[in-house]
Amino acid sequence: MKRMIRVWLVPAIVLSAAHARAGEDVAITPDVVYGHKDGMALTFDVFQPKEPNGAGILFMVSGGWYSRWTPPEQTVNLFGSMLDKGFTLFAVRHGSSPKYVIPEVIEDVRRSVRFIRLHADRFGVEAGRLGVTGGSAGGHLSLMLGTASDDGDPNATDEVLRASDRVAAVAAYYPPTDVRPWVDESSPYWQNYPALRFDRAQADAYSPILHVTDDDPPTLLIHGDKDELVPLDHSTKIQAEFDKSHVPCEVLVIEGAGHGFRGEDGKRAADATAAWFEKHLAAK
């Protein structure tokens, strides 16, 4: 179990890349600073197609709640399907495990949404047309943004914190939706993933399945039926909660796939994600 977790949880989203794309078709703005933490900059990279459609998608750079820098000229290859549809992409890095735990990570990604909404004109997107996607831990963060967002604090001295962190659509790949069993010293996940080592009394607050309400955005879940690390029922159970709240939700089950998609499975997932955002982030 320990070996499997270490091998698969961190790089899982990389296997979802379905299209390679030449960087010359895309304007890349690297290392945009959206905040500071313990003297360090929190950054994201921006990828803008030649003909942007005015909608933006945040990609959670997170595996095992570790967030690592990759040259943007390589990262762009993950986003072919969405760039082809005209979406502007934001590759968001957060304060990384092992230094930071999930509650701190979520505050970072919430800030990234607030920053982009506040500066939407700068990036050529509409604040109300933002989506979020990610895989595994990045899928968990995507669902937290979808289910536990707010309109901002009007009394905050920091103008970023006065902005909303709401998103208009979510696409989450093989996401953990209930972390309560993992926030426990006896769990192999807790043992292998330092981000889970926070106060167990807070576990409810960081389990998306407990935060579904009728104002949540349309949500696509993509999951392999052979996933042993984050089993398929993480997606089917939260789908049931979305259905109860009448939130548009679909689960795309990739038959025979485990934790991460290759080849045609990856292309199918990427195309479904692009189509979901095209439908739910359309201009009104």
pLDDT tens digits in sequence order for the chain, 284 residues long: 333 333 334 334 443 443 444 456 899 999 999 999 999 999 999 999 999 999 999 999 999 999 999 999 988 988 999 999 999 999 999 999 999 999 999 999 999 999 999 999 999 999 999 999 999 999 999 999 999 999 999 999 999 999 999 999 999 999 999 999 999 999 999 999 999 999 999 999 999 999 999 999 999 999 999 999 999 999 999 999 999 999 999 999 999 999 999 999 999 999 999 999 999 999 98
Check the CA dihedral 36-40-42-47 and report its sign: positive
For the chain, helix, strand, coil in percent to 5 are: 40, 20, 40
Tokens of 107: 């505050």
Q: Residue 78 has which token pair?
A: 């993950």
Q: What angle, 0 to 180 degrees and rounded to 10, lies between the N-to-C axes of helices 102-118 and 137-147?
A: 60
- d(C-alpha 196, C-alpha 46), whole Å: 29
Tally Cβ neighbours within 10 Å of residue 141: 33
pLDDT at 24: 65
> Where in the chain are the domains?
2-280
CATH for 2-280 is: 3.40.50.1820
pTM for the predicted model, two decimal places: 0.93
Please provide residue 24's backbone torsions phi and psi, each rounded to the nearest 5 degrees.
Answer: -65, -15
Helix (H) / strand (E) containing 237: helix 233-244
pLDDT for residue 13: 44
In this structure, what DSSP letter does residue 66 have? B
The pLDDT assigned to 14 comes to 40
Neighbours of 203 (CB within 10 A): 19
- Cβ-Cβ contacts under 8 Å for 99 (sequence gap 6 or more): none
C-alpha distances in Å from residue 239, one per residue of 99, 103, 127, 246, 249: 32, 24, 26, 10, 6
- At residue 251, what are phi and psi to the nearest 5 degrees? -115, 120
Q: How far is residue 202 from each of residues 106, 165, 196, measured CA to CA in Å?
A: 13, 21, 11
74 C-beta neighbours (distance < 10 Å), count: 9
pLDDT of residue 131: 99
pLDDT in the model for residue 23: 52
Query: Amino acid identity of 193?
Result: Y
